[in-house]
Amino acid sequence: MMSVIVLTLIIFIGSYFAGLLGSLTGLGGGFVIIPLLTLLLHVDIHYAIGASLVSVIATSSGSAAAYVKEGITNIRLGMFLEIATTAGAMVGALIAVYIPTSFIAVIFGIILITSAVMSLRKKAEQIVLEKNKLAETLKLNSSYPTANGTVAYSVKNVGGGFFMMLFAGIISGLLGIGSGALKVLAMDTVMRIPFKVSTTTSNFMIGVTAAASAVVYLQRGYIDPGLSMPVAIGVLLGALSGSKILVHTSSSGWLRWIFAIVVTFLASQMIYNGFMGKI
Amino acid sequence: MSRFKDTDMQAVIGWILRVGVLLSMSIIFIGGLIYLYRHGQATANYHTFKGIPDFVHSAPGIINGIITLRGQAIIQAGIILLIATPVIRVVFSAIGFVLEKDYLYTGITLLVLLIIFASMLSGHAG
């Protein structure tokens, strides 16, 4: 048994580093915060998911504010895909009530490993200019500013991307994470959007997606104020530090590897404890 | 007045998100200080799920808690404002698309709002 003040300080410090790592690697803070709370501090996974969702909204809204102004975010594409992510998030939050917590822990571990592996992929900027009927009707094709002037791009495979977003939404609602890696994957590999656009647009969508499931968790009593407070403040401050560091370092390649190792360890612990019925 | 453009919408959305996060996090921080001051020495137990205290689970309870300066109620109010921030962003996007006379996207944006609203209701029912 710990006193409130000691636990709050531990969670705050842990959340700061979770936010820092999440921002440096682009995976988001939820990935570290949920294992930290459940495995190390023995917090019930429902409370952990609730607190993580709150921190996800804070960080994604904070950074989206900066990105939107730069004009890289594709607002129409984001709005259109938010239909899928919010609907998915609602379903995810609703089924979370009926799924055993040990099963949620196992799914969490699997998604965590998948995302870490995907974050290690080489990212090459791709520009597709092929015309796509649906993308034109939905006005999804756009342009974005680069160092060499404005670059126009087209969007491919709108239906496939939409379907992937539905899945990303369910995972976000079920696990209380931003599932940014899944969103980027949908836009990057399925819709063939330039990497800079897909990361900023994914970030833009994460807040709304998380809000769609947070309204369910809020009413179910999963969002505890005493627990969410240090998590949200810590992760946000960590993410802010992370974005400052990113500006000053050209390569974060080694960092990604360290994070991948940490993440694999956490994920296997989540899966193991899930199977043993300890979560 | 000149026509409302995408760049105007970007500016408005950026502003809403920034103000929403700053305001809600400040409220959460202030509530947190009060909570720790009053309950810092209590023992924490999040090991078993038992929901949240009644006074932070309903709107009247939270309002009453804010008036009586209860830390957890103030934190919860900040959290609700934080959750509302991206939703308010969607509302303003809808207004922006109306001003741009982009009715397809006005519809898409309203659909997103409708889904969030349905989610809110389904959470209430459960």
- Could you report the per-residue pLDDT of A176-220, keeping only the tens digit for each? 998 888 888 889 889 999 888 988 899 899 999 999 999 999 999
What is the count of residue pairs from A and B with beta carbons less than 8 Å apart? 210
The pLDDT of residue B54 is: 85
Supply the pLDDT for residue A247: 62
Q: A225: how many CB neighbours lie within 10 A of its CB?
A: 27
B62: chain A residues, CB-CB within 8 Å: none
pLDDT of B2 > 70? The answer is: no
Query: What is the spatial distance between Cα A212 and Cα B120, in angstroms, rounded to a whole number?
Result: 8
Q: Which of B98, B100, B95 is nearest to B2 (CA)?
A: B100
Average pLDDT score over residue span A139-150: 89
Does ipTM top 0.90?
yes
Q: Which residues pair with A146 in a beta bridge?
A: A149
The answer to whether B106 contacts chain A (CB < 8 Å) is no
Domain boundaries, chain A: 4-275
What's the CA gap between A24 and A238, in Å, rounded? 10
For chain B, say whether A83 makes contact (Cβ under 8 Å).
yes
Per-residue pLDDT tens for A106-141?
999 999 888 888 777 766 677 888 878 889 899 999
Annotated domain spans of chain B: 6-39+54-125
More confident residue, A67 or A173: A173
Q: pLDDT higher for A70 or A248?
A: A70
High-pLDDT (> 90) share of chain A, %: 57
Local confidence band at A252 (pLDDT 50, 70, 90 cut-offs): low
Q: Which of A138, A224, A243 to mutate to test the interface with B (most CBs of B within 10 A)?
A: A224
Q: What is the mean pLDDT of chain B?
A: 91
Q: Does B25 touch chain A (CB under 8 A)?
A: yes
A98 touches chain B (CB under 8 A): no
A224 within 8 A of A51, measured Cβ to Cβ: yes
